[in-house]
Chains A and B, each alone.
Chain A
Amino acid sequence: MSKIERNMSLAGQAPAALSATQRIASAIGLIGLFILVLALANVNFPNKTLFLSLSLILMTAGTVIFANDLYRGKHAGIKNDGIWFKSMTGRGLWAWITGIALTLFYIVLYWFPEFLGLTENGPNTGVISLFDPLSYLINGGPASQWFVYGTLYTLAIFIFGYKFILKYRNNRYEVLRTFSVMFFQLGFAFLIPEILIRLNQPYFNPANIWPLNYDLFAGYKVDEFLSAGNIGVFMLAFGLISIFVITPILTYKYGKRWYCSWVCGCGGLAETAGDPYRHLSDKSLFAWKVERWVIHSVLVFVTVMTIAVVYSFLGENAGDFWLTRDVFLWGAAGFLTLLFAAIMIFKRNELAKDAKYGAIGYLVIILSIIGINYFSGNGNIFFFPGYQLREWYGFLIGAAFSGVIGVGFYPIFGNRVWCRFGCPMAAILGMQQRLFSKFRITTNGGQCISCGNCSTYCEMGIDVRAYAQKGENIVRSSCVGCGICSAVCPRGVLKLENDSPKGRINSEEVLLGNDVDLLDLINQKSR
Chain B
Amino acid sequence: MEHIVIIGNGIAGITCARHIRKNSDKRITVISAESDYFFSRTALMYVYMGHMKWEHLKPYEDWFWEKNRIELKKAWVEKIDFQQKRLYFSSEETMSYDKLVLAIGSVYNRFGWEGQDLKGVQGLVSKQDLELLEENTQNCKRAVIIGGGLIGVELAEMLKTRNIEVSFLIREKAFWQNVLPMQDAKVISAHVRSHGVDLRQETQLDKITGDDNGRVKSVITGAGEEIECQLVGLCAGVRPNIELLKDSALETEKGILVNEYLQTNINDVYAIGDCVQLREAKPNRNSIEAVWYTGRMMGETLAQSLTGNLRKYNPGNWFNSAKFFDIEYQTYGKVSADPPEGEVHFNWQHKDNTKAITIAFNASDNKFLGINTFGIRMRHEVFDRWLDEKKSINYVLQNLKEASFDPEFYDSYEKQIFRSFKENIEQV
Contact = CB atoms under 8 A, between A and B. Distances in A.
A75 B379 CA distance: 26
Contact of B316 (A11, A447, A515): A515
Contacts of A515: 314-316
A520 interface: yes
Given A11-B140, A80-B51, A445-B380, A456 B316 contact: no
A450 B42 contact: yes
Most chain A CB neighbours (cut-off 10 Å) among B47, B297, B379, B407: B407
A2 B40 contact: no
B309 A520 contact: yes
A176 B409 contact: yes
B304 A516 contact: yes
B134 A82 contact: no
B364 interface: no
Contact of A491 (B53, B134, B301, B321): B321
Contacts of A285: 61
A514 B315 CA distance: 5
B122 to A, nearest CB: 14
A84 B300 CA distance: 34
B296 A284 contact: no
Contacts of A514: 296-297, 300-301, 314-316
A11 B293 CA distance: 36
A75 B195 contact: yes
A492 B330 contact: yes
A455 B56 contact: yes
B51 A456 contact: yes
B328 A449 contact: no
Interface in B146-174: 161-165
A446 B300 contact: no
A453 B51 contact: yes
Contacts of B410: 172-173
B363 interface: no
A450 B300 contact: no
Given A84-B52, A446-B293, A524-B309, A491 B162 contact: no
Interface residues of B, number: 66
A11 B43 contact: no
B12 to A, nearest CB: 13
B36 interface: no
B113 to A, nearest CB: 24
A13 B50 CA distance: 11
B23 to A, nearest CB: 9
B49 A81 contact: yes
Given A12-B139, A514-B314, A75 B52 contact: no
A390 to B, nearest CB: 40
B218 to A, nearest CB: 17
Contact of A492 (B130, B297, B300, B405): B405
B65 interface: no
B170 to A, nearest CB: 21
Contacts of A76: 326
A1 interface: yes
A465 interface: yes
Nearest to B62: A284
A516 B321 contact: no
A483 B316 contact: no
A158 to B, nearest CB: 21
A445 B59 contact: no
Interface in B403-428: 405-411
A75 B161 CA distance: 13
Interface string A246-289: 00000000000000000000000000000000010000110000
Interface stretch (A219-227, A234-242, A306-314, A505-513): A505-513
Contacts, number: 194
Contact of B300 (A82, A510, A520): A510
Contacts of A521: 304, 309
A172 B407 contact: yes
Interface in A1-30: 1-2, 4, 6-7, 9-16
A285 B138 CA distance: 37
B395 interface: no
A446 B295 CA distance: 12
Contact of B384 (A170, A279, A487, A512): A512
A64 interface: no
A492 B319 CA distance: 13
A11 B162 contact: yes
A87 to B, nearest CB: 12
Contacts of A150: none
B114 interface: no
A7 B316 contact: no
A286 B323 CA distance: 33
Most chain B CB neighbours (cut-off 10 Å) among A11, A497, A511: A11
B50 A83 contact: yes
Contacts of A483: 407
A456 B292 CA distance: 20
A171 interface: yes
B408 A496 contact: yes
B87 to A, nearest CB: 27
B377 A492 contact: yes
A483 B407 CA distance: 8
Contacts of A16: 50
A492 B328 contact: yes
A449 B43 contact: yes
B39 to A, nearest CB: 9
B141 interface: yes
A261 to B, nearest CB: 12
B312 to A, nearest CB: 8
B52 A452 contact: yes
Interface of A: 1-2, 4, 6-7, 9-16, 75-78, 80-86, 90, 170-173, 176, 279, 284-285, 444-447, 449-453, 455-456, 465-466, 469, 483, 486-487, 490-492, 495-497, 510-516, 520-521, 524
8 contacts: A82-B50, A90-B50, A446-B319, A469-B59, A492-B328, A512-B381, A516-B300, A524-B309
Given A80-B51, A512-B384, 17 more contacts: A1-B54, A2-B131, A13-B162, A75-B194, A81-B161, A84-B52, A86-B50, A173-B410, A176-B409, A452-B58, A469-B59, A487-B407, A490-B328, A492-B328, A510-B300, A511-B297, A512-B316
